[in-house]
Amino acid sequence: MDTEFWMPEGTGPVIVAMSGGVDSSVVAWQLKQAGYTVEGLHMTNWEDDDGYCSAAEDLQDARRVCDQLGIPLHHINFAAEYRDRVFQYFLDEYAAGRTPNPDVLCNREIKFGVFADYARRLGGYAVATGHYARLRPGHHGVEMLKGRDPGKDQSYFLHAVSAEQLATAAFPIGDLVKDEVRRLATDAGLATHRKKDSTGICFIGERPFRDFLSRFLPAQTGEIVDDAGNTVGEHHGLMYYTMGQRQGLGIGGRADASDAPWYVAGKDLESNRLRVVQGKDHPDLYSGAVVCDAIHWINAAPDALENGARLTAKIRYRQTDQRCTVRREGCGVRLDFDTPQWAVACGQYAVLYDGEHCLGGGAIDRVEALPAHTETAATG
């Protein structure tokens, strides 16, 4: 089998991050078929055995696939590192009224941080994962491209990984679409070929989000107010809500309001008030620009930043690329969008692209409201 993916040069085994899912299973099979010396490494990042996290089942599935392929499987526990480097950030952001994305830090700090370090101690010269993204050599180090499958592309979650970390990484399924990965797993008879994709964050699993978060952060009820300052309900704690949220507000029909649905339009931490508006096209749900106070460039920053670089950005996973002008602002950047953006949440990431090339990104720290009388149109 010819390899169609980029691989770093080196000697020794390639260590595959065996999650117990079909993607990493196919990665290990691909590399074995291509003649590489392959070893598997499964990591545990969460230890609460409460029936919601599938860590034990995932380890068994990884073991079954490695047995099928005749490769060794190592197991390491990074629960302490995960709590210190990822989960504490997750809690701090929610406590500050923001909406974090822990998967970004997990990739940088755990998968391509302590996990890659441990893989090197095992003698591995490269770490291969089941991410849907692509790598190529560039003038300023290894560059990252979007995955070939637009519905599975994971470059958004990988934008904070450095070029140095990517230099010893491999994404063998980045040139494949998910259906092809499933077909390869089925044809190879891999034990995980029918396993469903995991969704969400492992430590939350399928449990109610509010129940989980309340175990770690105290909640304080407060008023829900409309755009005129009228009290229309009571919230259960600001941390449970995010921009654009419609479900779970508990606002019934009101004689002084229309039948249009209510949406979260803002939080006031000082007064502990949740602000809501009616109608998805309400101007208060839209913004024209965002500012990231810090920005991570995978390679070199674009030269055009000083005068305004024309790029695209995603402000949430699976959003279509949004055209914008990007300029330096302090140590970060300002993004002025061509089209008003709907329900932008501080704490989420703005990730920048030049075509298929993922340039980097940063957490959104400020959101700029639209000028008055600007027409709005919902963006995905």
- Active centre residues (catalytic): 106, 202
Residues 6 or more apart whose Cβ sits within 8 Å of residue 128:
14, 15, 16, 17, 27, 28, 31, 169, 170, 171, 172
Q: What is the DSSP letter of 348?
A: B
- b/e for 297-316, b at 16 or more Cβ within 10 A? bbbebeeebeeebebbbbbb
Query: Residues 181-199, buried b or exposed e (16+ Cβ, 10 A)?
Result: bbebbeebebbbbebeeee
List residues bridging with 76 in a β-sheet.
43
54: tokens are 């599938």
Q: In terms of Cα–Cα distance, which of 313, 303, 270 is closest to 155?
A: 313
Residue 359 in contact with residue 292, Cβ under 8 Å?
A: no
